[in-house]
Chain A
Amino acid sequence: MFSKVQSAALKGMDAYLVRVEADISDGMPQLLMVGYLSSEVREAGDRVRTALRNTGILLPPKRMTVNLAPASIRKAGSRFDLPVAAAILASLGEIPGEHLKDVMLAGELSLSGQVLGIPGTLALVEAARDNGLKRCIVPKENAQEGAVIEEIEVVGISSLRELIELLRHPERARVEKIDTRKLLAYGEVVQKEDFSQINGQAAVKRAVEVAAAGMHNLLLIGPPGSGKTMIARRIPGILPPLSLEESLEITKVYSIAGLLPKDTPLMTRRPFRAPHHTVTPEALAGGGRSPSPGEVSLSSRGVLFLDELPEFRRSALEILRQPLEERKVCISRAVGTYLFPADFMLVAAMNPCACGYYPDRSLCQCAEREIANYLGKISQPLLDRIDICIQAPRLSYEELTENHKNESSAQIRERVEAAQKIQKNRYEKLPIHFNTHLDAKGVERYCSLGEEEKELLHTAFTKLNLSARAYHKIIKVARTIADLDQEKTIQSRHILEAICYRTPDRNYWTQRG
């Protein structure tokens, strides 16, 4: 008897439907799986047979053929166990075939008949909904995650027996329910890391606020122990709260990467990723035979923190150029192109020299050439994409221990939010949201300057020997500072402040004279 079930497979960020067909006929007793399968899908046959037997269903000695259509696309992953089992059960007549109509199944089976969790549930459920299906049956541990998608029923099961029960009596299903808005609001409340815990560093805090307001990439320079990492960790906390779409996008990426924490159906906080400096280019940008998202995508809508920037492999840093420019990662394979989001704010930290203490010569023993080489490890194109650079000095004992009333993250976030709102309104008709993404034409159009300001920039350009790119960066940062100030036009003081945040160029550390 022939039967068919719907399942889905992942391709990059999106999923597409896969039809699982089973047929039982007379012939040599065997279970044959076809449809351009990778070995983990082929092995599903053995898993399903054993799991069925351990659930109490013996397969008859007949020829069983299972086909995964469309047969032209390679299928990988362990999520086809459950639909294969369901298709076989239906062709055996154990469950009525009509109950499988408009149902998407996905899940892995253990030999005992338990249903195990799978990555990417959110994307699978979304694909099912977009294709007009009515119900999804997924592993229990992924059910909450799937339920985030509205306008489709999601049912979680934990064993094969439950599946049979459910398909015999679909009306008895317990449909998973979740309140995304409440989850989002709750995520807001839980903030362990707050800016009020940081003493001193007033200039750094200000620079961080400006960077967050315009989503400018940021470089922190300072000796070891000056709190660079501590500050970076708190940046997601001063970015505006996530919208539902943003939250769904982040959750989807994490779900596909298999990194969604067990008890969190929805990512409610902005991600903060801090890959170690030994990270490979593939881990950073994403890769693999069927590509999975890398650190740049996992930090999308949040912060990608690269500590000890010069220690990173050159090849790894170079790969950041495309995502920084286009805000997405494009991975090409022979079978097609995979797109992942990469709309992150880059925060990098580094020591001023290899030992970390320059220009304090009582501690630093580096030769000037070594210092120049240390900074030279970072390529100019990457430095060009960093708008704001600030120095985090070592704290004195007094600053460290003083019981200051520091500003809390919430207070800073209020201002950041206001500034971002202004930008969103200004760039309503453009595909960008933030000042940092303005191109040269946009700078001309949206960052108009008065006579005095033009004069100032002219002096700066000649006196400080700026490049065209550095010049535009200063204007963009000045625009953000003006937005923080709620000013319509950029004023001299905004430009002056922006000048102090400019990124050093390669010869900067040991300028000659």
Chain B
Amino acid sequence: MEQYWHWFCSNLNGEFRLSRLLLQKYYTPQAVFEADIKGLVRPYPQYEEKLTKLDRSRKGWEFEKETEKMRRKKVRFISCEHPEFPRRLKEIPDSPKGLFVRGNLPDDDSPSIALVGARKCSIYGRNVALWFGKSLAENGVQIISGMARGIDGYSHRGALQGEGRTFAVLAGGVDVCYPIENRDIFEKLEERGGILSESPPGVKPLRHLFPLRNRIISGLADSVLIIEAKEKSGSLITADLALEQGRDVYAVPGRLGDELSVGCHNLIRQGAGLAASPEILLEDLHFLPGITNKNKGKNKIALERSENLVYSCLGLQAKELGEISCETGLSSIEVLSILAKMELKGYAKEVCKNYYIVCAPHN
């Protein structure tokens, strides 16, 4: 049966209605494979083109060869009837009929959280994604994301830093690395988690596949965390899907006035959880391993007075040298050397020329 599902999913990728129709009529993919598909053209003329294509695909399909092809590409196919198929995905509406997988599938018994957000993120968003990704992964949470530019990529990177497991759901085939600048993640994911997709290998990440991909991201997770989203953002679609699927939605608050905060703030207003720290998420998951809150109190580090002044003025939002000097009342030369000292001690970080953030929360 797995083989028939493989044929079915490979050729009906992204065709929701048609695949539902075929399964309603014939019940199993094997029956579809053996049925007279051409006969359906008359009652359903709108599918004529697709049905003809599907009909033709049966002729060239050799089960042995296709399995061998997959083995060579190190891709596995898992149908919805396979025992390994993620339990969480079975529950969602329009559940995928099968998944192509490189590496592993998420563990059904471990908690998993999806981290999604803006592609063009700010430095703040980048650091929050890294922090949450790392800290959640360290506590055994599986991080699900889409390996897109911006927040998605940094969530994966954070999880990899935290030595945790992380899974990317792609819109295209699992052998197509998109975007190319996330190659570093792509290469590590096979061992440190997995790459999943509904599309068969070789498929390019086409635009219409992304919303479909989003429902799998939220579907695989217990809760979904949105980090930075503009008022109209693709991440909000994921949030909507998550609500439909009965997942908890969280949002990271941002600074008022920033465009990238608007989407998250709207979500919070509508009742999304306020993700002030990774611990809050862990608590809500009823998952409280021995959290190590070593650096929770930021000012507990032994610093000199003027250093403390500078340190207390740093935050997750990148601050410019002049601002720091203005807020602390110290001269820019003093601030410069204090910042350099703190950078060397690992308390501060220069994220962009002369822009600094605090480093301790996710150390």
Residues of A within 8 A of B (CB): 200-203, 206, 221, 352, 358-359, 361-362, 365-369, 389-391, 393, 456, 459-460, 463-464, 493, 496-497, 499-500, 504, 508-509, 511-513
| A361 touching B352 in the complex, CB below 8 Å, given contacts A203-B321, A393-B322, A496-B341 | no
Give the nearest-CB partner of B322 in chain A: A393
Per the bound structure, the CA–CA distance linking A358 and B157 in Å amounts to: 22
Give the nearest-CB partner of A501 in chain B: B336
Report which residue of A201, A358, A368, A389 has the largest number of chain B beta carbons within 10 angstroms of its beta carbon: A368
Shortest beta-carbon distance from B272 to chain A in Å: 21
Contact of A497 among B154, B161, B257, B336 (CB under 8 A): B336
Shortest beta-carbon distance from A501 to chain B in Å: 8
Contact of A456 among B119, B321, B344, B346 (CB under 8 A): B344
> What are 14 contact pairs spanning A and B, CB under 8 A?
A202-B331, A203-B325, A359-B318, A359-B352, A361-B260, A368-B150, A368-B181, A391-B355, A393-B321, A456-B344, A463-B343, A493-B337, A499-B344, A504-B353
Per the bound structure, the CA–CA distance linking A301 and B339 in Å amounts to: 34
B114-142 near A? 1/0 per residue, CB < 8 Å: 00000111110000001000000000000
Shortest beta-carbon distance from A369 to chain B in Å: 5
Per the bound structure, the CA–CA distance linking A104 and B211 in Å amounts to: 85
Residues of A within 8 Å of B302, CB to CB, are none
Residues of A within 8 Å of B21, CB to CB, are none
Residues of B within 8 Å of A512, CB to CB, are 157, 184
Per the bound structure, the CA–CA distance linking A361 and B151 in Å amounts to: 14
B351 within 8 A of A: yes
Residues of A within 8 Å of B354, CB to CB, are 203, 390-391, 393, 500
Is B332 touching A459 in the complex (CB atoms < 8 A)?
no
Residues of B within 8 Å of A361, CB to CB, are 120-122, 258-260
Chain B: number of interface residues, binned into ranges: 35 or more
Q: Which B271-304 residues have a C-beta within 8 angstroms of A? A: none
- A-B complex: 6 closest residue pairs judged by Cβ atoms: A496-B337, A391-B354, A203-B332, A361-B122, A496-B340, A499-B340
Is A202 touching B322 in the complex (CB atoms < 8 A)?
yes
Residues of B within 8 Å of A366, CB to CB, are 120
Per the bound structure, the CA–CA distance linking A416 and B343 in Å amounts to: 29
Give the nearest-CB partner of B337 in chain A: A496
Is A391 touching B321 in the complex (CB atoms < 8 A)?
yes
B315-330 near A? 1/0 per residue, CB < 8 Å: 0001011110100000
Per the bound structure, the CA–CA distance linking A366 and B318 in Å amounts to: 17
Per the bound structure, the CA–CA distance linking A391 and B321 in Å amounts to: 8
B87 within 8 A of A: no
Residues of A within 8 Å of B157, CB to CB, are 512-513
Is A358 touching B322 in the complex (CB atoms < 8 A)?
no
